[in-house]
A and B are shown apart, each in its own frame.
Chain A
Amino acid sequence: MDLSNLFKIAVRALVRNKMRAVLTMLGIIIGVGSVIAMLAIGQGSKQKIRDEMSSMGTNMIMIMPNYMRRGGVSLGASSSMALKYSDVAAIRNEAAAVAAVSPEVRSNNQVIFGNQNTQTTIYGVSEEYLAIRKLEISSGRIFTQAETRSMAKVCLLGRTVIENLFGKDSDPVGMTIRIKNLPFEVIGVLKGKGENGMGMDQDDLIIAPYTTVQRRLAAIDYINGIYASATSEAKSAVAIAEVEEILRRNHKLRESEEDDFRIMSQSELIETFSSISDVMTYLLGAIAGISLLVGGIGIMNIMFVSVTERTREIGLRMSIGGRGRDILRQFLVESMLLSIMGGTLGVIFGYIVAKVAGSVMNNPAIVTSHSVILAFAVCFAIGVFFGWYPAKKAAGLNPIEALRYE
């Protein structure tokens, strides 16, 4: 029997039990739909993170202390103290490919104004930090070098901190807030940046001179990190090499010793986040895939019903010359038709879900041709895989018994 006739028989069998076919397909529709939607949302958020991080400047370089291990023994806290301000000074003086450099000292503190208080991170930096991190001042000013030298108690506030302490839309420049019981004058306000791709609030911060934070708040003599920017994106590899060379020399590391710091460029970070979101995407996809599997089992179930209620038909077809493989094909075509039709509707359903969810979550959903092809391939495989056993059962029937089946 040729394919077009097998196809006709399958269509007729499905049309005969419309409701049943639709319900069976629903399993596949939901399965494929959720896989498509999950992959699309995952792809979309990955793209969003990439775009946002690129907007933060692709020539940014971050230097962090490396938590070293030697012979399996963690050197613990001492290695987190590896970076000193002298490293910043050395980079500023010696690295030709570095345009700007700033230390970063972080301190988590309670901040008080009047009867309001909030917990936030105070970043101790140099005035170049704003340019490197692409932060902007909406009112007021950045601190001066003189203020840095004198460990002046001045600070710039992010939007969220202002909202928490002063209320929305107020301008706190000139006011005095208390951090760790020390009075700090607000000299500037940072422009709002909103949430980043990971859902983190980028406005919940206070910026102060690194000397102030290091000595008065954190009471440490090292720094937590160094931010630098290369003169251009193309120069960023050169800048990284220079920084590494300078820091190794400054830290008096011998040839055999590993770096006690870690240099990350923004582009590297983008890759890291991309791969994290890839993992998340595939995880979500795999969970959605389970519902696809359940849909496949639904097909197998209904194919068994179909084979059983058409036992006499199978007997008849065999008696008039249908071979086992003809019967096998007939039922395989039917199950594949079910799964592929379900898959097609599922792709459409998934596309709509992705678009709706994307607009609700304010996150573009990207349906790739890749995922659509994958969905169809999986549906095809499901049709064959879950149709095979019932079809095999039909093909193996004894025609005499099948004809007598009541």
Chain B
Amino acid sequence: MDNTIIRITNLRKDYFVGEITVHALRGIDMEIKEGEFVAIMGTSGSGKSTMLNILGCLDTPSGGSYHLDSVDVSTMNRDELARLRNLKLGFVFQAYNLLPRTTALENVELPLFYNNRIKAKERRELAMNALESVGLADRLDHMPNQLSGGQQQRVAIARSLVNNPVLILADEPTGNLDTRTSFEIMELFQDLNSKGRTIVFVTHESDIARFATRNIVFRDGRIQREACLTERLLASEILKSLPVEDIELTQPK
């Protein structure tokens, strides 16, 4: 067993819109190894969202092959893909997608409900651990509308962690957040990455992509450029250097 989580060769994706065929992905070769923190970048229409959907097993490629954790995904059916997502993947969305009027704990438990092997007690413990690891151990019974945007995204990250996935996929995770909270979320991702989590996220903000270990830039359905970041930026350092007024603004006296 090697430590390659994602192996993609000559992957293509075509959409048929009426009589027009849209080539969203035109032959992608990509490998992501365990413990990497990859930012996928690109302008809208570059194919980065399509790539993320395929990586997340929400969509199937039109051609080429995709191996996730040494399993060939390209030939699986809907139910097999659902099971794969349940056991191996974690999702974080731009709009958090938490269930309304449902406590943080239950939101985090949700993926485990679709795994019959996990019993209620274990489910609860795993969810509590996940919330603790994102620093929300004291917010278990809060509803999403009682939490700030950053806290909601933390709950969503806890939800993506709860099934101990091989890969966390995040779609513009900081898109709805202010600068400071964005850095906090990236700090959390870096923290998780340093503990061995493999994370792939899509963003169009280059200053957010700087926190990753590798950047892949998409353009017109192809990989335009790839770069490993040798000098890694730490979100925790930047947070320290941010002006204090920001904190005062969020916590008025």
Q: How far is the CA of A321 from the CA of B91 in the complex (A)?
A: 11
Q: Please give, as numbers and ranges, the residues of chain B lying within 8 Å of A252 by CB-CB distance.
A: none
Answer yes or no: A399 CB below 8 A from chain B CBs.
yes
Q: Is B42 an interface residue (CB 8 A)?
A: no
How many A residues touch the partner, as a band?
A: 20 to 34
Contacts A16-B101, A400-B59; A320 near B116 (Cβ below 8 A): no
**Beta-carbon contact of A318 and B82 below 8 Å:** yes
The answer to whether the Cβ of B228 comes within 8 Å of any Cβ in the partner chain is no
Give the residue name and chain of the A residue nearest to B86 (CB).
A321
Chain B residues near A323 (CB-CB < 8 A): 78-79, 82-83, 114
* CB-contacts of A9-64 with B (<8 A): 12, 16
Tell me whether A321 and B82 are in contact in the complex, defined as CB-CB below 8 angstroms, given that A5-B113, A316-B97, A316-B99 are known contacts.
yes
Partner of A324, one of B78, B102, B111, B159: B78
Question: Of the candidates A16, A319, A325, which one forms a contact with B91 in the assembled complex, judged by CB atoms under 8 Å apart?
Answer: A319
Q: How far is the CA of A324 from the CA of B79 in the complex (A)?
A: 7
CA distance A197 to B58 in the complex (A): 69
Which residues from B are CB-within-8-Å of A326?
114
A278 at interface, CB cutoff 8 A: no
Distance between A265 CB and nearest chain B CB, rounded to angstroms: 66
- Per-residue A-contact encoding for B105-139, CB less than 8 Å = 1, 0 else: 00000110111100000000000000000000000
**A312, CB-defined interface residue at 8 Å:** yes
Task: Say yes or no: B78 contacts A320, CB within 8 Å.
Answer: no
Q: Pull 21 A–B residue pairs with CB atoms less than 8 Å apart, ordered by A.
A: A12-B102, A16-B101, A312-B97, A315-B97, A316-B97, A318-B58, A319-B58, A319-B85, A319-B91, A320-B91, A321-B87, A321-B114, A321-B163, A322-B86, A322-B114, A323-B79, A323-B82, A323-B114, A324-B79, A324-B82, A400-B53
Among all A-B residue pairs, the 8 with the closest Cβ atoms: A321-B86, A320-B111, A321-B114, A323-B82, A316-B97, A323-B79, A321-B85, A399-B58
- Residues of chain A touching chain B, judged by Cβ–Cβ distance below 8 Å, are 1-2, 5, 12, 16, 312-313, 315-326, 399-400, 403
Apart from A321-B85, A324-B79, what are 19 other A-B pairs with CB-CB below 8 Å? A12-B102, A312-B97, A313-B99, A316-B93, A316-B97, A316-B99, A316-B110, A317-B110, A318-B58, A319-B91, A320-B111, A321-B111, A321-B163, A323-B78, A323-B82, A324-B82, A326-B114, A400-B58, A400-B59
